[in-house]
Amino acid sequence: MAEFLTHHVQDLQALCHPQLRHLSTALATACRALHSEIDFTLAGLETLARVFDPPVSPRSPAREQGFLSSDPDLELLLSKISTVNHLLSSLEKKVLKSLQETVTRHNLALPSVAMAPQPAARPLAMQNFEVKVGKSQRAALTVDVESGTVTVTKRGSGSLEEVIPHGKILQLIKYQSVQSKVRLVCARENQKSLSRDFIFPSARKREAFCQLLQLMKIQHSNLDEPEIISVYVGTWNMGSTPPPRSLASWLTSRGLGRTQDETTACIPHDIYVIGTQENSLGDHQWVEFLCASLKTLMAIDYRVVALQCLWSIKMVVLVKPEHQRRISHVHTSSVKTGIANTLGNKGAVGVSFLFNGTSFGFINCHLASGSEKTHRRNQNYSDILHSLALGDKRLGGFDLTLRFTHLFWLGDLNYRLDMDVQDILTHIVKKEFQALLAVDQLNLEREKNKVFLRFSEGDISFPPTYRYERGTRDTYVWQKSKPTGMRINVPSWCDRILWKSHPETHVVCNSYGCTDDIVTSDHSPVFATFEVGVTSQFVPKEAPGSSPEALACIEWESIEVILKTTSRSKCYIEFHSYCLEEMQRSGENTFQSCDIPGFLKLGWSCKHLPVLNPILPDLEYLGDQHLLLSIKGVESCESYGECCLALRSAIGSTAQQFETFLFHRGEETGSVRGWMRVRVPRGRCGTRERLYEWISFEEEDAEPAAEPAMCPQPPPQRLRSRPRSLPEPATGYTNPAYFIFEGIPNAWLPGPGDTPKKQAESPAGGQRCRSPAGPRVPLSSEEEPWCGRPRCGPPSPSRGHALSPRRVGQHKRPKSAVLTRDTVGLGDCSLYMASQLGQLDQVSPQGRGDRQEVPLRQTHPVLEPPPRPCREGSRPLGKRGALGALDLETQPPPPADLQPARM
């Protein structure tokens, strides 16, 4: 039959040939069962058509002339099929139109822009704070942002004590030991300063007061470009349902956790980044709703910077109108991580841009769900890092987390709690969140260096945001019936906001919490607000070297790298920075050692490292710049790891030590350390205080650190803690590479159950930086740089610096925790590393006596600059980096419990 139809039937008209009557009969018989199926389908379609239109008799379209069948059954079948096709096509258009009209008229409908009020920009009203002055005296502080004054009024008498203009406020000191206490340092007419302490009713009131003073400084600074902006980041899994009519609590950071005080909740932010998952609304409809909501709340018509969507995953970036001209180089991207990485139900969307001279990156993701799919979520994270195309294309070879000054990662990460559900509910009722955070999968995976290396997250003081019963926030629905059986979804902190910034940059998380009144989804919306330092666009007026003016330069004394690799290839270093005209590269490494399997040690001397010349010699400009380093193989030109170094702490006449970690494609691949200095011409060393540097932290009753006997005692001084613009130092060890290379005794290593102690490590990747206590003054070429290098005293235990210190997982784990993936040991160390550490047990537990160790300076003297004599007034040892400042062979090490004091 197939052969006959192929060779003899040329068109449909031939089917009417009498010789094919048996074929017609066979087709009619075969399609007899199809009649009933089509009748059933047609009846349903006709019923559905009556919902959208008045009843009409379906008419089949006219058939082509000559298309006739000799069998009436076949003719009827063709007519029915044509009718079904016609109904389907018509219904598709009617259903889409009806859905759009229904959503618009829904009681949860989105307010249109036309409905939104058109208020003028509201001035910030004066705010009053009740404070205590001295031991018992009560007073009132009135902050008038518009006029730029702070008024102090005594309670009881009601008399006005003092009016302090913003220009007279020199410094604001926030006490660490008393969270509600603040010190105001003001200038007097006789060129002396006056300090006054105020105690607020709560820490939140103190934060609100400090934010208002910060806003006052910004508004009255008369700067052409901003130095500090506020960024709002929100994430919400909407559960495929329309949102409520109002999102006020979410957009003003009110609810549970660390929230904004009512006096500052309605201060508009400069940038809003709203990420959603399972968002069933149309893209433009969602943007219009957000803009209308912000206009209602803040009386500002925000501008859309970018909208990036992947199925139901959406991210919107909005900015104040006055900042729109400052936004440039906007890039968007998306990655699918669903089934076989082809479905967009799971994945991520990203947006990046430049705000003047500061680069921002934002990633909103929805990772794999299910308590048992931790490894799958880790893989989703890795796939996103590998595939998301954001930022400067010239930095495409660098790890995504290093391409931006500030990178914010938000979304439904879907990491769960490894604990029995009844125990979880008990801890939630008692608000024992620390016990739950100890078994949080995200914290556990970060502790193992599997995901989000060197990211930060605010303190979680709000209950798990998933899985609530819709319509209420009083009940968690943790059971879900599925065809495969009953599924358990334990309450968890699925919705998270993390960030990672370049070293020595200013970023402060002012709030981190969730709403308690938006109940349309089984997830609660989560918010976080940030105070972020930004830089201006610097453009050289003339080409470098075109004038006789001296140029700044970046010089290297030595660089040492330890890589996790089995390769033995020669390597070179690439240097990238926006302060350089083009990429620079070093020569091949001058030293190489592979004594430890799985690790490669490389070294470069100053002769094989290039002198880098920034395009501008200004100290203020260079203090905001960073260098990206990439370690590449000579043969393959592939990167073994990348890192970021800040130039700020290296500015001065003497070389400064740096040490940080190497990353590649989201994984830690090694560590790099060395000595560098940034020389600035004498006449270009003046700089001014940043707006965010006039607020600092201080311990109220801190004692001066004890100096080693070898160095002269410096004058007693009050020790200031780390400025809030710098993150807290990391703690602990997780990788023994440096221990093995440098022979650190095993007794100094913390056990698996020990709580790591605070180390004198510098912030943001191990780099040290200054801690200003007041306005900066010009630096002459003969003065000490911002961060001095002590050359005396015993070596610190941190000489054996780990490749990646622990930063999470410090919570006490409850007995009810069920951890199936716990590993005993030191992070991701190999079995060989563990065996090598075991061999070090022969060393004296006090770290003294005969030891089998090879100090770094003995084997590679080129990596260390010549020692300098100890001077009077040198800085205490607490500010030095991870490497010791004295040879291990010339001075016995301290006991294991000795920790250097930190300023």
pLDDT in tens, 676-730: 999 988 766 656 678 888 888 776 544 444 434 443 343 333 333 333 333 344 4
Query: Residue holding tokens 């979520």?
Result: 377
Confidence check: pLDDT of 55 > 90: no
pLDDT at residue 6, as a whole number: 62
Q: 484, 493 in Cβ contact below 8 A?
A: no
Asked if 68 and 16 touch (Cβ cutoff 8 Å), the reply is yes
Mean pLDDT of 563-572: 92
Phi, psi of 84 (to 5 degrees): -60, -45
Kindly give the interhelix angle for 72-105 and 32-52, rounded to the nearest 10 degrees: 30
**Residue range 847-874, pLDDT digits in tens:** 333 333 333 333 333 344 434 433 333 3
At 763 the pLDDT is 36
Average pLDDT over residues 145-154: 90
Least confident of 317-326, 403-412, 621-630, 760-769: 760-769
Compute the residue count for the chain.
Answer: 903
Whether residue 499 is predicted with pLDDT greater than 80 in this model: the reply is yes
pLDDT-wise least confident of 16-25, 381-390, 611-620? 16-25
Confidence band for 469, pLDDT divided at 50, 70 and 90: very high
* H-helix or E-strand spanning residue 206: helix 203-219
DSSP string, 119-188: PPPPPPPPEEEEEEETTTEEEEEEEETTTTEEEEEETTT--EEEEEEGGGEEEEEEESSSTTEEEEEEE-
pLDDT range class, residue 768, cuts 50, 70, 90: very low
Distance between CA atoms of residues 893 and 794, nearest Å: 6
| Predicted local distance difference test score (pLDDT) of residue 733 | 36
Measured between alpha carbons, how far is 424 from 422 in angstroms, rounded to an integer? 5
Helix (H, G, I), strand (E, B) or coil at 251: helix
Is 562:803 a contact under the CB 8 Å cutoff? yes
**Close Cβ partners of 531 (under 8 Å, ≥ 6 residues apart):** 214, 228, 229, 230, 506, 507, 508, 510, 692
Averaged pLDDT, 195-217: 91
Asked whether residue 820 carries a pLDDT value surpassing 70, the answer given is no
What pLDDT does 851 receive? Answer: 34
**Average pLDDT for 389-393:** 92
State how far the Cα of 768 lies from the Cα of 748, in Å rounded to an integer: 23
pLDDT tens for 621-669 read 899 999 999 999 999 889 999 999 999 999 988 999 999 999 998 899 9
Amino acid 743: pLDDT: 45
Can you read off the two tokens belonging to residue 871?
Answer: 């001077």
Buried b / exposed e along 479-502 (16+ C-beta atoms within 10 A): eeeeeeeeeebbbbbbbbbbbbbb
- Distance CA(470)–CA(520), nearest Å, equals 6
Question: How far apart are alpha carbons 528 and 506 in whole angstroms?
Answer: 16
Residue 72's contacts (CB-CB under 8 Å, 6 or more residues apart) are none
User: Which residues neighbour 386 within 8 Å (Cβ) at sequence distance 6 or greater?
Assistant: 665, 666
**Least reliable range by pLDDT among 28-37, 135-144, 397-406, 410-419:** 28-37
pLDDT for the residue 836: 40
Give this prediction's pTM: 0.71
Task: Determine which of 244-253, 279-288, 589-598, 729-738 has the lowest per-residue pLDDT on average.
Answer: 729-738
Using the predicted structure, report yes or no on whether residue 335 has a pLDDT greater than 60.
yes
Which value, to the nearest 10 degrees, does the dihedral of the CA atoms of residues 679, 684, 690, 696 take? 50
* Residue 144 pLDDT greater than 60, yes or no: yes
Angle (CA) 871-872-877 rounded to 5° is 80
Distance between CA atoms of residues 286 and 317, nearest Å: 12
Summarize the confidence of residues 551-575 as an average pLDDT: 93
Q: In this predicted structure, which of 53-67, 214-228, 270-284, 609-623 has the lowest mean pLDDT?
A: 53-67
Two tokens, residue 166: 């913003």
- Range with lowest mean pLDDT among 183-197, 324-338, 755-769: 755-769
Burial of 402 (0-12, 13-18, 19+ CB in 10 A): buried
Q: Between vectors from CA 192 to CA 186 and to CA 193, what angle results, nearest 5°?
A: 25
Model confidence at 297: pLDDT above 70: yes
Q: Is 187 left (phi over 0), alpha (psi -120 to 50) or beta?
A: beta
Question: What does the CA dihedral 895, 897, 900, 901 come to, rounded to 10 degrees?
Answer: -140
The DSSP letter of residue 330 is: E
Q: What does the pLDDT average to over 147-172?
A: 85
Q: Is the pLDDT at 42 greater than 70, yes or no?
A: yes
Looking at residues 385-402, what average pLDDT do you find?
Answer: 92
Q: What is the mean pLDDT of residues 606-610?
A: 94
pLDDT bin (cut points 50, 70, 90) of residue 771 is very low
Backbone region of residue 357 per phi and psi (left: phi > 0; alpha: psi in -120 to 50; beta: other values): alpha
The first and second tokens of residue 885, run together, are 């400042």
Task: Please name the residues in contact with 377: beta carbons below 8 A apart, sequence gap of 6 or more.
Answer: 367, 368, 413, 414, 415, 441, 451
pLDDT at 749: 41
Query: What does the mean pLDDT of the chain come to?
Result: 76
Q: Rounded to a whole number, what is the largest CA-CA distance in the chain?
A: 120
| Top-confidence range, 135-144, 454-463, 595-604, 873-882 | 454-463
Give the list of residues 6+ apart from residue 316 with CB closer than 8 angstroms, or none.
272, 273, 274, 286, 287, 290, 304, 306, 307
Mean pLDDT of 774-787: 36
Calpha distance 474→463 (Å, rounded):
11
Nearest to 798 by CA among 873, 864, 880, 721: 880
- Write out the H or E segment, with its range, that includes residue 560: strand 553-564
Burial class of residue 6 in the structure, from the number of CB atoms within 10 Å of its CB (0-12 exposed, 13-18 middle, 19+ buried)? exposed
DSSP 645-699: EESGGGBSSS-EEEEEEEEETTEEEEEEEEEEEEE--GGG------GGGSEEEE-
Q: Is the pLDDT of residue 896 over 70?
A: no
Q: Which residues contact 300 (CB under 8 A, 6 or more apart)?
A: 121, 268, 294, 320, 321
Return the pLDDT at 1: 62
Mean local confidence (pLDDT), 818-822: 46
The band of 587, judged by pLDDT with boundaries at 50, 70 and 90, is very high
Strand partners, 500: 407
Query: 389: which 2 tokens?
Result: 């195309």
Long-range contacts of 432-439 (CB under 8 A, 24+ apart): 433/460, 433/461, 433/462, 433/463, 434/811, 434/812, 435/811, 435/812, 435/813, 435/814, 436/464, 437/493, 437/811, 438/809, 438/811, 438/812, 438/813, 438/814, 438/817, 439/813, 439/814, 439/817, 439/818, 439/819
Instruction: Pick the more confident residue, 647 or 877.
Output: 647
The tokens describing 648, both together, are 């700020």
CA distance linking residue 729 with residue 758, whole number of Å: 7
At residue 298, the pLDDT reads 93
High-pLDDT (> 70) share of the chain, %: 67
Establish whether the linkage from the previous residue to 467 is cis, with ω within 30° of 0: yes
Please tell me the number of Cα atoms within 13 Å of 786 on its side-chain side.
29
In whole angstroms, give the CA distance from residue 537 to residue 329. 13
List the one residue out of 811, 806, 799 whose CA is nearest residue 891: 799
The per-residue pLDDT for range 717-763, each reduced to its tens digit, is 333 333 333 334 444 333 445 444 544 443 444 443 343 333 333 33
CA neighbor of 903 nearest in space, from 666, 663, 717 = 717
Report yes or no: 180 and 187 within 8 Å, Cβ to Cβ. no
Residue 829 has pLDDT above 80, yes or no: no
Signed CA dihedral, 251, 252, 256, 259: sign only? positive
Q: What is the pLDDT of residue 83?
A: 82
857 vs 728: CA distance, rounded Å? 30
Q: CA 731 to CA 552: how far, in whole Å? A: 35
Average pLDDT over residues 484-499: 92
Using an 8 Å Cβ cutoff, are 499 and 221 in contact?
Answer: no
Cα 71 to Cα 480: distance, rounded to the nearest angstrom: 54
pLDDT at 769 over 70: no
Mark 450-477 as b/e (b = at least 16 C-beta within 10 Å): bbbbbbbbbebebbbbbbbeeeebeebe
Percent residues over pLDDT 90 in the chain: 47
Q: Average pLDDT of 595-603?
A: 91
Give the helix/strand (H/E) hosting 249: helix 248-251
The pLDDT of 814-843, averaged and rounded, is 42
Say which residue, 417 or 818, is predicted with more confidence: 417
Q: Which of 208-222, 451-465, 506-520 has the lowest mean pLDDT?
A: 208-222
Specify the pLDDT at position 87: 80
| Pick from 408, 385, 391, 273: nearest CA to 329 | 391
Please state the rounded mean pLDDT for residues 142-166: 85
Residue 685: C-alpha distances to residues 122, 295, 483 (Å):
42, 44, 71
pLDDT at 509 over 60: yes
Residue 528 has pLDDT above 70, yes or no: yes
Is pLDDT of 783 > 60? no
Assess whether pLDDT exceeds 90 at residue 54: no
Looking at per-residue pLDDT, the higher value among 736 and 78 belongs to 78
